[in-house]
Structure 1
Amino acid sequence: MRSRWSSILLMVLMCVSVVTWNVIQPLAGWSQSPVDRTAMADQLGSMSVIAQASPQKTFTVPPLPYAYDALTPYIDTQTMTIHHDKHHGAYVSKLNAAIAKYPSWEGKPVEELLTNLNKIPADIRTTVRNNGGGHANHTLFWESMAPKAGGVPKGEVATAINQTFGSFEKFKAAFKKAGVNQFGSGWVWLVLTKAGKLEVTSTPNQDSPLFEGKTPLLGNDVWEHAYYLKYQNRRADYLDAWWNVVNWDKVNARYKEAQSP
């Protein structure tokens, strides 16, 4: 009799185990079919890939194409570090915060933003103007300099400078005058106009020549943060020293690109 009851109890336990497994299995997301299990694993894997494939459409500060101390003694290491990491970094952060409010403008080149300011939503337009200009201006500025550079212009831009200003020395004098006379903060530029002519001009704050349809070829930052640690209030001395680090190969490449149809 005891053996019979033991057999019955064993059968009951087996039935309970089977029922429990069949109930728990679907709740855990797994079917008895190996095909279904494979399909679910593939689906989970796809979700992970989709998340990884969603890049943030934000602006970033480009790394310097040279070391922070590479432009000494003309521009000191501390100025380069603060200027690049802190000042340029702040422009990029504020620009990203503004653009994030309007996803339709995310991912567009900064040049497109600056040449279409009238289309930018009014509540972020000034922020984009100031900080987008700061980002574009500084990006060009870093690339306009190089260690062991300076000297005289090369290539087609050298010919254009001589034809427009009479000589390289006269061009430098015009550039320096515009930089010294820029009241307060701003930039001094060599630009190519819509008519294809070279021109020296200056802009206040972080305004870009792009606002007027001009192509910047060379720009020098005359905000005090660009030179004050080394030159204090001697902006003219800073402008003179700066010619020793101008990357004329880059300027000539910009000139040729701007003239391409």
Structure 2
Amino acid sequence: AKDAPEAAPSTDGAAGNQMSGARALGVGFVVAGGVAGVVLAFRVSVPWLLDTQADMIAEMVRKFGGDGGKFWGLPTEPALVSQFTRHLGTYFALTCSNMWILAAGPRCVSRPSLVTWAVLLNTYGQRCLFHRPGHERPFHGIDLMTIGMAAYCLGLTQRRTIGKYVMRYWFVVLFALALIWPLGWHGRIDVNPPDDIAMRIRFSVFEGAFIVLWLVTGERLVQAEIFSEDRMHFLSHWALVVFLIHKAVHIVVPAPWNWVVLFGLVPMGFVLARLHTAAGARQSESAV
């Protein structure tokens, strides 16, 4: 019998790899090009347009902002409008470019969970590159919410694997992050961010790392036995109440009595926990 002829080498795999590479390149071009366009528009075009209305903007700030406008860094004089609009363009550039990634990314990739990583890289990449004064805090809150919503809706690629090794080698992670933090630095970085780019990169990487750590290990940091065995349900109710009123208490009640008031609400946490448990039991009985 004759030997079977050797099969010709298949080119399907190579062609598939080429198509995948071309698709990935196209996706990167679309997403990155859109981000670059948004950043360019808000950092150049929008400030230029607003600068032409500097007198009107300053007048509106003085009229409607009052003394509170100065606290938030709003321009009360026409000469301050140019700097403010550049900062405002920086804030909108990051927020809107994240929206572009979330709008275009899931339509371009087969694994939407990769889009969350793109949002994280875009957020902290721009925070490293561009200085953002203290009055950007409302925009920072929006950006953090965007990251959280993206992780919740789209997922985060390799979250379980990364979380497993972070929990296993947590001491290495904390040691590495401790090396990033500048020795002796203290104060409110969100209120008085540093102008130096090296320090800005340090703090941005530090914050971004903790955001990622929370996303990949958040559910493993809280043990269910806190509630099932230790019966600490009251902590949830007490913490919620304190979170809502602590600022008002610190303003109205002088120290150290402000802390006495806050910790004095612990019995109320017990009461709320009991009421919540009783309501749940009644609901279960009625359902049966």
What is the TM-score with the length of structure 2 in the denominator? 0.21
Considering fraction of residues, name the structure with more helix.
2
Which has the higher Rg, Structure 1 or Structure 2?
A: 1
Considering fraction of residues, name the structure with more strand.
1
Greater relative CO, 1 or 2 (CA 8 Å, sep 6+) = 1
